[in-house]
Structure formats: structure tokens, C-alpha cells
Amino acid sequence: MIRIRDLSYVYPNSEEPAIAGINADFPRDRVFAVLGESGSGKTTLLNCIARFLTPSSGTITIDDQDIADLPEPKLRRALGVVFQKLYLFPHLTVHENMILAPVKAFGQTRNEAGRIAAEMLARLGIGDLGDRYPSEISGGQGQRVAIARGLMLQPQYMLLDEPTSALDARTTGEFARWLSELQSDTSFIIVTHDLPFAADVASRGVFLKAGRLKATGSVETIIQEATQNA
């Protein structure tokens, strides 16, 4: 379980906290939505969970271990991250993008990493894309490649930042179906402004407003809160 207690973060040269006093639990084996307007602190919260930002105060633990104390390799095996910008290396094929971290950072052989990469791509219905470059695939395909890459290390949690922002309605529907199938393998924490998408994929979540936690609970509860506070 990811457990957040009294979490606050203040950006340098800012007097107001981007998030303040956040308390939330994210058990495994679920899809969670993090809802809120632009500037509400959603991505800041995600970056704190991923340890890309160091909280100004408060704690974040995974299975009762403070993430501040976890070695980098152990943390990255626990948390996968896919940002709104996918950060696929443009000079590498999809296959090479997939195996780079497992081989270079975690010591897997190219053969073993390649086998897992092929399985992950096939699982997401894009097994024929391995030899293509990022410029040769669509936005929806790129999103699935980025998630498949994140799943290479079999993380406990995948953190997704606005995953539907560049997708059309049809591709968003397909993407929701893939996430539903993948939640048996990992838990997802998804930052999104897309309320219908959140309703399709998430079971629980949190709603942020002006950096404060305004609601937590079932996805129906937080969507109602988000709608009332729009």
C-alpha cells in the first residue's frame, strides 16, 4: 500500500504550497483516479509519489517503507511512471526503447529483456511495432508503448499523468479497455481531467482543489465532488 500522511510541497521561490496536508491511501490491485482542475496540485502529488520532488513536509510510504529511504533501483521496481510527454527516445526503435532500462540499469540480458518486451507489446495489442521508431507510430500506440515499457520491471504501481490528453474518443475507449485488463498485474494511479474516462477505469480516487484534498472515496463520489466544484 502507498500511504501518504500530512504531505505538503512548496515550489522554490513560491510562498504558497502547491499541495498541503494531503492524507491518502492507495491499496494494491485497483485503479485510482486523481481528479482536479488545472493547477490543483495533481501532477505535483504524482511527482512526490515518484520521488521526482522531495516533499516540504510529510511522508510517503510503500508497504510501510519511507520512499525517501529506498534505494533507487528498488523504488523504480515498485513504481513505474508514464508522463503526459512520453519520453520515448526518438533515435531508438520501440524494441530498443523497451529494453534499454532493464539491460543498462538492471542487468538483464538483451535476450531476456527482448523476450519480456515482446510479451508486453503483444499483451497490449501492439506486437507488430517493435521495429518501428516513435515517429512512425500514432499517439495512442505511443501511449501503449510507454506503458508497456513501464511494465517491463513489473512494478507494484504505475503512475500515469493525463494519459488521454492526446487521444481521440475512440482511442480513449480502447485505452480504457487495456487498463482494465492490466489491473490484474499492477495498480494504477491516474492523474486525469477526463471524468468519463475516470468513471470507466477507476474504482476509487481523490479530488484536489487548490492543493488541498477535498474528497476521497469511490470514483462516483469524487466525480460528483469534481462536478460540483467545476
pLDDT digits (tens, 9 = 90+) for 9-22: 999 999 899 999 99
Q: What is the DSSP letter of 194?
A: -
Report, as an integer, the average pLDDT of 145-172.
Answer: 85
Residue 134 has pLDDT above 70, yes or no: yes
Q: In whole angstroms, what is the distance from residue 140 CA to residue 47 CA?
A: 23
Element (H, E) at 188: strand 187-191
Q: Answer yes or no: pTM beyond 0.75.
A: yes
Mean pLDDT of the chain: 91
Instruction: Name every residue whose Cβ is closer than 8 Å to that of residue 37 and which is 6 or more positions away in sequence.
Output: 193, 209, 230
As a dihedral over the C-alpha atoms of residue 44, residue 48, residue 52, residue 58, rounded to 10 degrees, the angle is: 130
Report, as an integer, the average pLDDT of 128-138.
Answer: 94
Report, as an integer, the average pLDDT of 20-40.
Answer: 93
Determine the pLDDT at residue 177.
83
* Least reliable range by pLDDT among 30-44, 71-85, 89-103: 71-85
Residue 141 has pLDDT above 90, yes or no: no
Sign of CA dihedral 161, 116, 176, 213: negative
pLDDT digits (tens, 9 = 90+) for 162-213: 888 777 787 788 888 888 888 877 899 999 988 999 999 999 999 999 999 9
Q: What are the b/e assignments for 151-166, b being 16+ CB within 10 Å?
A: bbbebbbbbbbbbbeb
Query: What domains appear along the chain, each with residue ranges and CATH number?
Result: 2-228 (3.40.50.300)
Residue 230 has pLDDT above 90, yes or no: no
Determine the pLDDT at residue 204.
94
pLDDT digits (tens, 9 = 90+) for 57-81: 999 999 999 999 999 889 988 999 9
